[in-house]
Structures are given as C-alpha cells and as structure tokens.
C-alpha cells in the first residue's frame, strides 16, 4: 500500500531526527510571518471557486508527470491564471519534490504556499515554517488521534494555517472536534490511489458553516470544478491536470467557476 510505505519511511526519518526542538521553535518563530493561506482562500472564494495549484513532479501511482518542471515559471503561470494559493510537494523519494522547489516557487509569486508532505512530527511542522511555507498539511489517515490533536494545536501556535485532510466521515468528525476550520476532502483513496468523485460531494454537507471546504485530487475539468462548487466547496487543490497541461494558465482559469 502506497500510504503505509510512505509513512514508514517518514517515521523512520523522524525517529532519527535528534535536533533540539526548542531551538527549532525559536528559529521558526524568527522567520517572516506566514502570509495567510486560509485568509486568501476565504476572500477569493467569495467570488468563485478558489484554486490551490500544485507543483508536483511525479506521483507513486502515475510515475513522472513533469519531472523537469521549473518551479518559478510554473508558479508564475499559476498566478497569471488566477490561482489563489500554491501547494508544493517537498517529499523527495516518492514525489520527486524538494524544499528548493517550494522556496523557488514561493519567492516567484505573492501566493501563500502549502507545504505538501507527510507531517509526522513537531520537527516537520517547525521545518514547514522555516522553509517559508504558510500552511502545513495534516493527513488524518496518517496520524493517531492524539498526534492530530497535538500537531494541529502546535501548528496554530507557530502561526501556520493547517489544512486537515480527511477521507471519510470518521476522520471528518475528528477534524471538526479538534477545531479545524480548513478541511480538505481527498477524493483519492490513499491506500489504493483510486479516485471516488462522490466522496467530496457526500461529505460537504457535514461541515459546519465556518469551515473552508477544499476538495482534493481528481479535479480535471470545468465540470468537475462546477459540481464541487455546487456541492458547497470553497476551493479545489489541483496538481496532475495542471502540471501536464499545454496551457497551464488557461487550465487554471477554466476551474474558476
């Protein structure tokens, strides 16, 4: 299973990380203030579906997508197309990403950035702010209940927004109980990597009014975007269909329904 293999590797790395946490906290808090990832989505989604455009070189399920992409030029194309925020893969082994990809993209545009990775420790959260990201990803399926609660509170204490990713009603309930107000419903099963388009539609109605609703994975067409907007979503996170497009800016514009 993809998720189990990926998590095993990330937890192995985290276990070997002996850096002093207090020093990391001090370093992270001395960096420039995050740029308001959720706030940007909240403003932009008032007019149309907001797009979080992802910089993604490859995936475990599909292999190479755009392995030679230039993060700066892709980020500029996303901004010109009307994207509200960026998502950048920093996992190297499974997705071909890097901290450098995130930093190049971040400095090229004025869009807030989500660090797309598998967060399994407080060290990871500190690193997210230190590298210049504005939002951290917390995947409910990858964490215990206590980890999700602890990492969510810690992220907020560090000034980061936290996108809590869920896959079913049980995880959604847990996210809401922890006070999450930025929730992503991944339409892709992280064990099989198959996409279920009804997953997001089914779960949208369960979210409180104050929650920013983000649909993730499997969004390719204007019709996909419209159906999610109609279901109550504020934003979509889109990667594969954008990085493989021949006209990236126009592909983003097509999603602004």
For residue 171, indicate whether it is catalytic. Answer: no
Segment (H or E) for 10:
helix 2-15
More confident residue, 239 or 215: 215
For residue 145, indicate whether it is catalytic. Answer: no
- pLDDT average, residue stretch 137-143: 96
- pLDDT average, residue stretch 4-18: 93
C-alpha–C-alpha distance, residues 50 and 42, integer Å:
9
Give yes or no for residue 180 having a pLDDT over 80: yes
For residue 157, indicate whether it is catalytic. Answer: no
Give yes or no for residue 76 having a pLDDT over 70: yes
Q: Report the number of secondary-structure helices (H) and strands (E) in the chain.
A: 12, 10
Q: Which residues of 145-159 are buried (b: 16+ CB within 10 A; e: fewer)?
A: eebbbebbebbeebe
For residue 5, indicate whether it is catalytic. Answer: no
C-alpha–C-alpha distance, residues 83 and 228, integer Å:
17
- Average pLDDT of the chain? 94
Secondary structure (DSSP) of 180-215: -SEEEEE-B-TTT--B-THHHHHHHTTS-TTSEEEE
Which of the residues 216, 241, 249, 251 is marked catalytic? Answer: 216
C-alpha–C-alpha distance, residues 153 and 132, integer Å:
19
Full domain range(s) for residue 182: 2-253
| Nearest-5° Cα angle at 154, 35 to 96 | 65
pLDDT score at 191: 66
Give yes or no for residue 63 having a pLDDT over 80: no
Determine if residue 42 is left, alpha or beta; phi over 0 gives left, psi from -120 to 50 gives alpha, anything else beta: alpha
- pLDDT average, residue stretch 149-170: 97
Give yes or no for residue 192 having a pLDDT over 80: no
Give yes or no for residue 65 having a pLDDT over 90: no
Which of the residues 116, 178, 227, 251 is marked catalytic? Answer: 116
pLDDT score at 138: 98
C-alpha–C-alpha distance, residues 77 and 89, integer Å:
17
Tally of structural domains, the chain: 1
Length of the chain: 257
C-alpha–C-alpha distance, residues 111 and 75, integer Å:
9
Which of the residues 28, 155, 165, 178 is marked catalytic? Answer: 165
Which of the residues 45, 59, 121, 186 is marked catalytic? Answer: 186
Give yes or no for residue 190 having a pLDDT over 70: no
- pLDDT average, residue stretch 10-21: 96
Q: Fill in the DSSP letter of residue 255.
A: T
Confidence of residue 196 (pLDDT cuts 50, 70, 90): confident
Give yes or no for residue 124 having a pLDDT over 80: yes
Q: If you search the block for the tokens 């070189």, which residue do you land on?
A: 57
Which of the residues 44, 87, 217, 227 is marked catalytic? Answer: 217
C-alpha–C-alpha distance, residues 95 and 195, integer Å:
18
Check: pTM over 0.85? Answer yes or no: yes
pLDDT score at 189: 72
Which of the residues 28, 44, 54, 77 is marked catalytic? Answer: 54
Share of the chain above pLDDT 90, in %: 83
pLDDT score at 1: 58
SS3 state of residue 50? strand
Least confident of 29-33, 107-111, 185-189, 246-250: 185-189
Instruction: Give, to the nearest 10 degrees, the angle between helix 21-29 and helix 122-130.
Output: 30
pLDDT score at 146: 97
- pLDDT average, residue stretch 221-229: 94
Which of the residues 28, 56, 66, 178 is marked catalytic? Answer: 56
What's the distance, Cα to Cα, between the start and end of the chain in Å?
35
For residue 73, indicate whether it is catalytic. Answer: no
Give yes or no for residue 223 having a pLDDT over 80: yes
Which backbone phi and psi does 171 adopt, to 5 degrees? Answer: -65, -35
Give yes or no for residue 197 having a pLDDT over 90: no
Radius of gyration of the chain from its Cα atoms, rounded to whole angstroms:
17
> CATH number, domain at 43?
3.20.20.70
């Amino acid at each position: 299973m993809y998720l189990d293999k990926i998590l095993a590797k990330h937890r192995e790395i985290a276990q070997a990380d002996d850096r002093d946490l207090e020093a990391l906290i001090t370093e992270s808090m001395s960096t420039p203030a995050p740029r308001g990832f959720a706030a940007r989505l909240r403003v932009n989604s008032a007019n149309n579906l907001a797009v979080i455009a992802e910089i993604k070189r490859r995936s475990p399920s599909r292999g190479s997508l755009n392995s030679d992409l230039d993060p700066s030029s892709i980020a500029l194309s996303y901004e010109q197309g009307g994207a509200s925020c960026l998502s950048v893969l920093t996992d190297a082994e499974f997705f071909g990403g890097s901290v450098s990809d995130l930093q190049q993209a971040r400095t090229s545009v004025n869009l807030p950035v989500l660090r797309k990775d598998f967060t399994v420790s407080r060290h990871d959260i500190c690193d997210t702010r230190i590298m210049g990201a504005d939002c951290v990803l917390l995947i409910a399926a990858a964490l215990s209940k206590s980890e999700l609660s602890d990492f969510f509170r810690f992220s907020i204490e560090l000034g980061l927004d936290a996108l809590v990713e869920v896959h079913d009603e049980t995880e959604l309930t847990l996210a809401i109980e922890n006070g999450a107000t930025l929730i992503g419903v991944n339409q892709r099963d992280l064990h099989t990597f198959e996409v279920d388009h009804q997953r997001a539609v089914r779960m949208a109605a369960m979210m409180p009014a104050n929650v920013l609703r983000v649909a993730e994975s499997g969004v390719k067409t204007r019709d996909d975007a419209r159906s999610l907007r109609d279901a109550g979503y504020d934003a979509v996170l889109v990667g594969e269909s954008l990085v493989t497009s021949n006209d990236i800016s126009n592909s983003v514009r097509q999603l602004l329904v």
